[in-house]
Amino acid sequence: MAHKIKMAARTLDFYYGSFKALHDITLEIRENQVTALIGPSGCGKSTFLRCLNRMNDLIPGTRVDGELTLDGLNIHAPEVDVVDLRRRVGMVFQKPNPFPKTVFENVAYGLRVNGVRDNAYIAQQVEKSLRDAALFDEVKDRMYDSALGLSGGQQQRLCIARALAVAPDVVLMDEPASALDPIATQKIEELIHELKKRFTIIIVTHSMQQAARVSDMTAFFYMGKLVETDNTETIFTRPSNKQTEDYITGRFG
């Protein structure tokens, strides 16, 4: 079955000042699939992830060569509104980072920032996003309590709900479960399986088992280069590249 390509990098190079962190990356991200980016620390996977919604623009001295597209359109084109790009390509970080506001306001925040003023609509979207993030039942009686009172796992799902509230196309997840206990991790992983029906998900993870469990496609990065990308099943049963095999079987690093 041919998959629609949601995002694509073509011959992408990325520099932190004079340091070239990504070399000639060409990678297609399939719509409504989960793509896992794996590789040792410093291999460029998180840098690549942050390129996808231009989060690296916030770091002074960075530079991008090559092309990155969302639905076929170059995200570096002058007419692209970066705020709108980040609405369409949302992000969830390693550590849950709720705002010091109520549960409700955390999720409503993105909508308000995007100019939505209709309170009934906002309330409806907040509930929907919390349900999508599999959190609503746990917080429905605490909507106006501080989000900081939630457990770590709940806070991370709140951050996912916050990302979903603005109806993104793509959700980037940077080690979303690395700070969570196994039960909370399991909930996030189950959630990813559900969310991919409606969103395209790209996840950076250091847990190879997690990549194997949640993703459809896996891309292995090493020293700023994309070494191999394939179906996750193929990567974890018979990878083509010796470096990939050595990494996933723990024979180096």
Partner 1 sequence: MDGRSHFHAELELLTDKLLRMAGLARKALEDSLRAFSGCDAALAREVIDRDAEINRMECELDETSLRLLALEQPVALDLRRVVGGMRMTIDLERVGDEALHIAERAIFLAQLPPAPMSARLDELAFRVSEMLDKAISAFHAGDMDLANEVCRMEAGISDLNVLVLKDALRMVEQSSCTSQALERSMHEVIAGRSLERIGDKAGNIAETTIFMVKGVSIKHRCRPF
Q: How many chain residues bind partner 1 (CB under 8 A)?
A: 16
Among 26, 114, 124, 249, binds partner 1 (CB under 8 A): 249
Task: Determine if 42 is a binding residue for partner 1 (CB under 8 A).
Answer: no
Decide whether 28 or 245 has the Cβ nearer to partner 1: 245
- The residue range among 86-94, 194-202, 220-228, 232-240 that interacts with partner 1, by the rule CB under 8 A, is 232-240
Task: Determine if 182 is a binding residue for partner 1 (CB under 8 A).
Answer: no
Decide whether 154 or 218 has the Cβ nearer to partner 1: 218
Among 31, 67, 216, 245, binds partner 1 (CB under 8 A): 245
Binding mask 192-221 for partner 1 (x = CB under 8 A): ----------------xx--x---------
Q: Closest distance between partner 1 and the C-beta of residue 236, in Å? A: 4
Task: Determine if 114 is a binding residue for partner 1 (CB under 8 A).
Answer: no
Task: Determine if 237 is a binding residue for partner 1 (CB under 8 A).
Answer: yes
Q: Closest distance between partner 1 and the C-beta of residue 253, in Å? A: 6
Please give the structure tokens belonging to residue 238. 């018979």
Please give the distance of CA 135 from its chain centroid, rounded to a whole number.
19
Decide whether 94 or 241 has the Cβ nearer to partner 1: 241
